Amino acid sequence: MARARAERHAQGGSAARRKKSGSAAGRQKSRPATGRKKSGATGRKSRPAGGRRRRSPRTRSRRGAAGSPLGVLLTAVGVLAAIGVLGLAGWLLTFPLDDARYSSGLSGTPGTFTAARCHTAGSGASGCTGTFVPAKGGSADRNAHIRDSRILVGRPASLRRRPDGGYVQPGPAKAGKDLATAFGIVGLAAFLLVLLCAAPKRVSAGGWKRLRKNPPPWGTLLIILVPLFGASLVLAGLCLLVGFLLSHV
Same-domain check for residues 241 and 184: yes
Check if the beta carbon of residue 113 is closer than 8 Å to that of residue 157.
yes
Exposed e or buried b for every residue in 170-194, given b needs 16+ CB within 10 A? bbbbbbbbbbbbbbbbbbbbbbbbb
Structural domain contains residue 61? no
Q: How many CA atoms lie within 13 A of 197 on its CB side?
A: 24
pLDDT tens string 48-81: 555 455 554 444 444 444 557 776 777 788 889 9
Same-domain check for residues 135 and 185: no
CA of residue 199 relative to chain centroid, distance: 10
| pLDDT tier, 91 (very low <50, low <70, confident <90, very high otherwise) | very high
Span of 3-17, 108-122, 134-148 with lowest mean pLDDT: 3-17
Check if the beta carbon of residue 189 is closer than 8 Å to that of residue 183.
no
pLDDT tens string 150-172: 788 888 988 999 988 889 888 88
| Polymer length of the chain | 249
Cα of first residue to Cα of last residue in the chain, in angstroms, is 150
Structural domain contains residue 216? yes
pLDDT of residue 60: 42
pLDDT of residue 69: 79
Residue 201: give the domain boundaries.
84-98+173-247
With a cut of 90, say whether residue 35 has pLDDT above it.
Answer: no
pLDDT of residue 75: 75
pLDDT of residue 246: 85
| pLDDT tier, 178 (very low <50, low <70, confident <90, very high otherwise) | very high
Nearest to 99 by CA among 160, 184, 186, 188: 160
Same-domain check for residues 124 and 239: no
Structural domain contains residue 237? yes
Span of 42-56, 79-93, 136-150, 199-213 with lowest mean pLDDT: 42-56
141-147 sheet: strands from edge to edge? 141-147, 126-134, 109-120, 157-161, 167-168
With a cut of 70, say whether residue 184 has pLDDT above it.
Answer: yes
| pLDDT tier, 36 (very low <50, low <70, confident <90, very high otherwise) | very low
Number of domains in the chain: 2
| Of the residues 146, 170, 194, the one at which a domain ends | 170
CA of residue 126 relative to chain centroid, distance: 44
Same-domain check for residues 152 and 193: no
Structural domain contains residue 190? yes
Structural domain contains residue 59? no
With a cut of 60, say whether residue 190 has pLDDT above it.
Answer: yes
| Of the residues 145, 170, 195, the one at which a domain ends | 170
Provide the total of helices (H) and of strands (E) in the chain, helices listed first: 6, 5
Span of 135-144, 198-207, 223-232 with lowest mean pLDDT: 198-207
138 or 115, higher pLDDT: 115
Same-domain check for residues 88 and 201: yes
Classify residue 156 as left (phi > 0), alpha (psi -120 to 50) or beta.
beta
Check if the beta carbon of residue 131 is closer than 8 Å to that of residue 116.
yes
